[in-house]
Amino acid sequence: KAGVTQTPRYLIKTRGQQVTLSCSPISGHRSVSWYQQTPGQGLQFLFEYFSETQRNKGNFPGRFSGRQFSNSRSEMNVSTLELGDSALYLCASSFSEGMDTEAFFGQGTRLTVV
Amino acid sequence: TQLLEQSPQFLSIQEGENLTVYCNSSSVFSSLQWYRQEPGEGPVLLVTVVTGGEVKKLKRLTFQFGDARKDSSLHITAAQPGDTGLYLCAGERSNYQLIWGAGTKLIIKP
C-alpha cells in the first residue's frame, strides 16, 4: 500500500510570494492534517480536512489555507510569504473513524523563504 | 501555550543507560500516541495507549498511560544508538484532533 506522498520535497520562495503544497493520502483515508515543524516551535497543527470539509483548525493566520478534493488529496496554500514561514510542512493522513486514529506522515516539504 | 508538556526537551546519554520521557497535560485524552521521528522523515507511530493505567511494552520500550488519562511516560531500557531520534507524544481529543507535545530529542552515544 502506497504511503503518504508530499510534493514538492524542497522549495525556495521569496518573501511576498505564495506557495501551494500538495499531499496525497493513503488510499481509503479520509482525514488529512497539515503541520508546520520548526526547531523552535516543534510540531504545530495547521488544519485538518475530513471528507472535503475543514474539521479542525489551529492558530495560524489567514494567509494559511487549505482544501481537500473528492479523492481526499489535499493542498495547502500560503500567501504573502514571510521569512518566519520557513519550515518543514508535514501532511498526515488517517482513517480517523472509530478507534483508528493513527496518523501516517509524509516525508514533508522543506520550505525556505528568502 | 503547549497543552501537552514533554520533558526533557533534550537528552544525551551513553549506550546501555535507561531513560524516561514524560508527557503531561491538565486535559483528559481519549488516547495517547507516541511517535518517533528520524531526520528527513515524518513521525512514525510507536504505540497507542487507550485505557487509564495501561502499560504497553515494545521490546525495550515501555509505555504507560496515567490513571486519569492526562499523562504518559516512555521508558527505554538499555538504550542503543538506534533509539536516537525525536520522540513525540500526541493526545487525542474527542473531536479526533491530535494535540502534540514539542518532542524530546534523544541521542544515544555508542
Give pLDDT tens digits for A22-62. 999 999 899 999 999 998 778 899 999 999 999 989 999 99
- pLDDT band at residue A101 under the 50/70/90 scheme: confident
> In the structure grid, which three cell numbers stand for residue A100, read together?
483508528
Closest Cα in chain A to B97: A56
Query: What is the rounded distance in angstroms from the CA atom of residue B42 to the CA atom of residue B46?
Result: 13
Backbone angles phi, psi at A80, to 5 degrees: 45, 65
In Å, how far is B95's CA from the nearest CA of chain A? 8
Q: Give the residues across from A36 on adjacent strands.
A: A44, A89
- Tell me phi and psi for residue A49, to 5 degrees: -115, 140
Question: Would you state the torsion angle of the CA atoms of residues A7, A12, A16, A22, taken in this order, to the nearest 10 degrees?
Answer: 0
Instruction: Tell me if B103 and A42 make a contact (CB, 8 A cut-off).
Output: yes
Q: Give A41 to chain B, closest Cα distance, Å.
A: 7
Nearest C-alpha of chain A: how many angstroms from B98?
A: 8
> Is 60 exceeded by the pLDDT of residue A81?
yes
Q: Is B42 close to A90, i.e. CB distance below 8 A?
A: yes
Q: For A18-43, give one letter per residue: b (16+ CB within 10 A) or e.
A: ebebebbbbeebbbbbbbbbeeeebb
The predicted-structure confidence for B27-45, as pLDDT tens digits, reads as follows 999 999 999 999 888 999 9
Distance CA B49, CA B47 (A): 7
| A-B contacts at Cβ under 8 angstroms | 61
Interchain contact, A45 vs B97, CB within 8 Å: yes
Alpha carbon distances (Å) from B75 to A67, A100, B38, B68 = 39, 24, 19, 19
Beta-carbon separation of B95 and A42 below 8 A: no
Name the band, by pLDDT with cuts 50, 70 and 90, for residue B103: very high
Q: Which of B42, B95, B103 sits opposite A105 (nearest CB)?
A: B42
Choose from A32, A51, A56, A101 for mutation: most chain B CBs within 10 A. A101
Please judge whether B33 and A102 are an interchain contact, meaning their C-beta atoms are less than 8 angstroms apart: yes
Closest CA to B108 of B33, B38, B6: B38
What share of chain B has pLDDT > 70, as a percent? 98
Distance of CA B56 to the CA centre of its chain: 12
Contacts of A103 in chain B (CB under 8 A): 33, 35, 43, 45, 90, 98
> What 3-state class would DSSP assign to B83?
helix
